[in-house]
Amino acid sequence: MTDAAQRLADVVRAEGRLVLATLARTTRSLSVAEDAVADAVETALLRWPRDGVPDQPRAWLTTVARNKALDALRREAARTGKEADAVRLAQLSAPDEPEPSAVRDDLLRLLFTCCHPALRLDAQVALALRTLCGLTTADVARLLLLPEATVAKRLTRAKQKIAVAGIPYRVPDAEELPARLDAVATVVHLLFTAGHSGGTTVVRPQLCDEAIRLGRLLVALLPDESSLQGLLALMLLTDARRATRTDEGGRLLTLAEQDRTSWDADAIAEGAALVQGALRRSRLAAGRFELQAAIAACHATATSVPGTDWADVVALYDALLRVEDTPVPVVRLNRAVAVGELAGPAAGLTALDAIAGLDRWHLWHACRAELLLRTGRQDLAVAAWERALDCAPSPPEAEFLRRRLAGTGAATHGDEPAAVVDHGPRGSQEQGA
């Protein structure tokens, strides 16, 4: 790639979503805006290598894209003779360069449009990656492990619905805002969770990076929302352990096996500070993201598994159980594991066996196996691992379970602490997809 082409790729990636957000507002059509931005990029690809990269690439792209959109809308207006298009044309013709604060507001509007509850969740996810992260359709497809044609169809349908059904480009009113913010946070969290636990590999780093980038954008746009700070903190604290989740061979490692010195100290510090701020803001009304982030902070800032403040962890899980919309059985499973660390494996086992409805979930059996082993019931532990393997775990998890199963014959792990797989972001895994 030439310098100019590389520079263009970087600028488009960084600024494209801003140009798109402004044009989506002025044209009131995501399709028109997207086509115009794509045309502007194509023009830049032709001219920049020849004429050099302009001083203000974004302003250049905005102007060219606006002219392309004007052309497109003029053609459309001539064809249909509609009054509405004249209004859009007038708005577009205003040659003002948008203020940074206006661009910020445009992006916020686009965010709420892409995450509108009238769109299917899978469409929201694809739209967020395409428009807010500025990825190509091919990249979105690759990240979501879907055929490109499927993603293209999904995006086209979503954009058509936005246009035809009249999903507005606006920030919701104060009374609607909490529910709509929750929808936005759910989309971002879903992206992050998919990056962490989907597919055949353990972690898809780029998907996590995009989710964190969106999380940062949310916090920047709405700095007073503690749930968004909690969400970003949760992602940072979980992602700080990315490198140690697996060994060189791609095999899952337990929390106890992970090399804590390899955790990303900067991300942990940033995440922990965000958690403190979020909890201070939300006080007693802390939501699921603040609480999950606080739990992640307990793990990330502890020096070892036994050195973790398990009493705090159990208390936070108790608080999480009181929050609405939490997938309760999953939270209770994680809480039972923490109880096992705090009060011993027998107490953990009692807590685990008190949860109904997880019989088809491999992690429930896997956690039982670890706790049974530590109470000295190796025969029952083996049976529990076998049940876990019957519950269709992902390939890396199955490999881990088989490894544990094979290992029990050779050695006793009677007092090995926290032998469960690091269950990081799974607290809400069952909410989406």
Partner 1 sequence: MPTYAAILYSRDADWTAPEESSTMADYGAFSAVAGPAVTGGAALFPTSTATTVRVQGGKGGDVLTTDGPYAEAKEVLSGFFLLDAPDLDAAIRLAAQIPAAWDGGVELRPVIPMTG
Binding site for partner 1 (CB under 8 A): 116, 118, 164-168, 170, 172, 176
Nearer to partner 1, 168 or 344 (CB): 168
Nearer to partner 1, 164 or 411 (CB): 164
Query: Rounded to the nearest whole angstrom, what is the least distance from the CB of residue 90 to partner 1 in the complex?
Result: 18
Nearer to partner 1, 114 or 286 (CB): 114
CA 373 to chain centre: 35
For 88, list phi and psi in degrees, rounded to 5.
-60, -40
Query: Rounded to the nearest whole angstrom, what is the least distance from the CB of residue 177 to partner 1 in the complex?
Result: 12
Tokens 């379970």 identify what position? 401
Nearer to partner 1, 116 or 189 (CB): 116
Query: Rounded to the nearest whole angstrom, what is the least distance from the CB of residue 109 to partner 1 in the complex?
Result: 12
Nearer to partner 1, 55 or 83 (CB): 83
The contacts of residue 148 (CB under 8 Å, 6+ apart) are 137, 138, 141
Give the separation between CA 140 and CA 417, rounded to whole angstroms: 40
CA 122 to chain centre: 13
The contacts of residue 299 (CB under 8 Å, 6+ apart) are 237, 255, 308, 313
Query: Rounded to the nearest whole angstrom, what is the least distance from the CB of residue 31 to partner 1 in the complex?
Result: 16
CB atoms within 10 A of CB 228: 26
Rg (C-alpha) for the chain, rounded Å, is 25
DSSP 213-234: HHHHHHHHH-TT-HHHHHHHHH
∠ Cα 215 219 225 (to 5°):
120
Query: Rounded to the nearest whole angstrom, what is the least distance from the CB of residue 190 to partner 1 in the complex?
Result: 23
Query: Rounded to the nearest whole angstrom, what is the least distance from the CB of residue 171 to partner 1 in the complex?
Result: 11
Nearer to partner 1, 120 or 170 (CB): 170
